[in-house]
Structure 1
Amino acid sequence: METHTVISKDGTTIGYRQLGQGPGLVILHGAMESSQSHIQLAEVLSPEFTVYLPDRRGRGLSGPYSSTHTIQTDIDDVSALIDKTAATNIFGVSSGAIIAMHACLQLPAVKKVAIFEPPIGVDRESSAQMMQRFDSEISEGKTSAALVTAMKATEMGPPIFKYFPRRLLEWLTTMAMSHEKSPPTSSSHGGDETVAPATFRELAPTLHYDFQLSLSLSDEESISNLREITTEVLLLSASQSPQYLRSAVDRLENVLPNINRRVNFTGAGHGVTGNVDRRGQPKRAAEELQKFFST
């Protein structure tokens, strides 16, 4: 594996990891993730594809978000990477899938895109209220409280968490972060300047921008605009993901005009595409991606 960088339109450095051989495939990670979240998926795909794993802004190898950040900035980052690598395939995970779909509307170089459970169609009013609370807790240094706010809003905690009082959830989150360590990593002969995986404390502030991505596709008009996507699409969902994510894929199935097929990972949750230590099933996810992108 190697690490490289590209400069986006506004001058920000976007770092990415690269491994494998064959046609280029860009994997855009989701919220509370970084380029390392899909390393194992990339390894399975690497015999057939050159896989590019960018760190979205605010993470790892890439520069920070700016005060003027919009979804167009995210598209510019993807565009810079595609211009450099000549990749024509994108796999977008969760909020990364929102970026991928918007990129398809602007970047004709993208020929195929796989979409996994983008958080679209969320209630704008309740989401705005949640974001206000989250931003306030982050600004006050209450990272555990902010993560609990996000976890409850996105239904991403274990099912039993819904029965726990908030104070207990915040304590458990604090304990988890206190034990979270970044394991050392070694450089490869390919010039990999690998950094340790990002921690939850480091990733927490980036959730603000993932919430903004969800709001960009929260009304009927914005979702209807996705009908303009002519790129060939693979839709992916997981049977144990929160209902609103599965419903989002249902809506896309009725909107996107060029769907190759839809695959539902039975018995799996929203983390199915990630590394095994985060309850992922990378081999299972890679099998469907190989079928689609190899055709």
Structure 2
Amino acid sequence: MTTAIATRTVASADGTKIAYQQAGSGPALLVVDGALCYRAFGPAAALAKQLQDQFTVYTYDRRGRGESGDTKPYSVDREIEDIAALIEVAGGSVNVFAMSSGAALALEAASRLDGIAKLAIYEAPFIVDDSHPPRVGFQETLDALIAEDDRSGALKFFMKTVGAPSIMVTIMSLTPPWKKLKAVAHTLPHDARVLGDRGLGHPLPANAWPGAKMPVLAFVGGKSPKVMHNAQQAIVDQLPDARLVELPGQTHMVKAPVVAPHLVEFYRVV
């Protein structure tokens, strides 16, 4: 019989309640989701299950998702404060694993916050050169669609912009998970703000994350497009203690059994 893991909350600096779960034992590990994902939808639960024998794993709902609050107006600074609150809950020091746009958020947090011992990221979706068309108008279009409460429209625009074929998007819109996606579609502009202008095809600015001096491991899937490979290499080149690991046969979809052994090795090496 599986014991249910209790959901807890912590108040962020602005008073917003952030829902999280804690599982396992060992060094603290915080998982940061990408766009549209939260504890009940996405890879975080599977990752926690894979890692909880080695770590005390903290998974949480980013603000506006799942059981967390959504105090307005949104700011990337508030999301970084959410991470700071969770670091305090975990005892003041954590390892972090962050995925997709969550990786972009975690890089900002690692540059600004104390208490992140090691950081692993999976395919931060930057565009740093001409290997992919720039996401011109990405933020503005998502803002407009959500302002009209066109959540399905925002989801379709987002998915097509990040490379999903139109026919796949149409099929997805007819499946049961679409309802869960619509429930968090209003947070898509949040992730666009996290990415900022790093989807426009410009090289990363020099010293982009000056405070991120901890060891960093960047993952890229072997089957992921050139734009992802180039972006992760650009991130690694910016940081003083970083390396890139290519996962053969993998794509942007995080598979817990594949990535977990690499995380265990990375976090456990002193």
TM-score, with length taken from structure 2: 0.86
Deviations 1:161-213 (A, max 9, x none): 25x5xxxx66534312xx338xxxxxxxxxxxxxxxx8111121111110111
SS of the residue corresponding to residue 102 of structure 2 reads: helix
Q: Report if aligned partners of 1:144, 1:170 keep a CA contact under 8 Å in 2.
A: no
Q: Report if aligned partners of 2:126, 2:231 keep a CA contact under 8 Å in 1.
A: yes
The alignment-based identity, stated in percent, is: 31
Q: 1:209 aligns with which of 190, 195, 214?
A: 190
The residue that corresponds to 1:275 in the other structure is none
**What is the Cα deviation at residue 220 of structure 1?**
4.7
Matched AA of 1:72: D
Q: Report if aligned partners of 1:4, 1:17 keep a CA contact under 8 Å in 2.
A: yes
Q: Report if aligned partners of 2:128, 2:203 keep a CA contact under 8 Å in 1.
A: no
Distance 1:288 1:130 in 2: 33
Deviations 1:216-236 (A, max 9, x none): 645556563225421111111
The verdict on how the C-alpha distance between 1:111 and 1:171 changes in structure 2, with shifts beyond 3 A counting, is closer
Distance 1:227 1:238 in 2: 26
The residue that corresponds to 2:250 in the other structure is 268
The residue that corresponds to 1:77 in the other structure is 82
Unaligned runs of 5+ in 1: 182-197, 273-280
Q: 1:31 aligns with which of 27, 30, 35?
A: 35
Q: Report if aligned partners of 2:233, 2:244 keep a CA contact under 8 Å in 1.
A: no
Distance 2:114 2:169 in 1: 45
The verdict on how the C-alpha distance between 1:32 and 1:122 changes in structure 2, with shifts beyond 3 A counting, is farther
Distance 2:109 2:169 in 1: 37
Q: Report if aligned partners of 2:122, 2:218 keep a CA contact under 8 Å in 1.
A: yes
Q: Report if aligned partners of 1:216, 1:222 keep a CA contact under 8 Å in 2.
A: no
Deviations 1:77-116 (A, max 9, x none): 1001111212421111111111211111222211111111
The residue that corresponds to 2:105 in the other structure is 99
**What is the Cα deviation at residue 129 of structure 1?**
1.5
Residue 135 of structure 1 pairs with residue 143 of structure 2? yes
Q: Report if aligned partners of 2:159, 2:169 keep a CA contact under 8 Å in 1.
A: no
**What is the Cα deviation at residue 120 of structure 1?**
2.5
The residue that corresponds to 2:8 in the other structure is 4
Matching of residues 234-273 of structure 1 within 5 Å: 234-259=217-242, 261-272=243-254
The residue that corresponds to 1:188 in the other structure is none
Q: Report if aligned partners of 1:148, 1:173 keep a CA contact under 8 Å in 2.
A: no
Q: Report if aligned partners of 1:114, 1:233 keep a CA contact under 8 Å in 2.
A: yes
The residue that corresponds to 1:226 in the other structure is 209
**What is the Cα deviation at residue 58 of structure 1?**
0.6
Q: Report if aligned partners of 2:127, 2:134 keep a CA contact under 8 Å in 1.
A: no
SS of the residue corresponding to residue 18 of structure 1 reads: strand
Matched AA of 1:180: P
Q: 1:286 aligns with which of 244, 255, 260?
A: 260
TM-score, with length taken from structure 1: 0.80
Distance 1:143 1:33 in 2: 15
The verdict on how the C-alpha distance between 1:216 and 1:228 changes in structure 2, with shifts beyond 3 A counting, is farther
The residue that corresponds to 2:68 in the other structure is 62
> Which structure dedicates a bigger proportion of its chain to helix?
1
Deviations 1:215-269 (A, max 9, x none): 164555656322542111111111222432222101012111111x321111111
Matched AA of 1:202: A
* Most deviating of 72-81 and 134-143: 134-143
**What is the Cα deviation at residue 139 of structure 1?**
2.9
The residue that corresponds to 1:154 in the other structure is 162
**What is the Cα deviation at residue 135 of structure 1?**
2.6
The verdict on how the C-alpha distance between 1:222 and 1:80 changes in structure 2, with shifts beyond 3 A counting, is farther
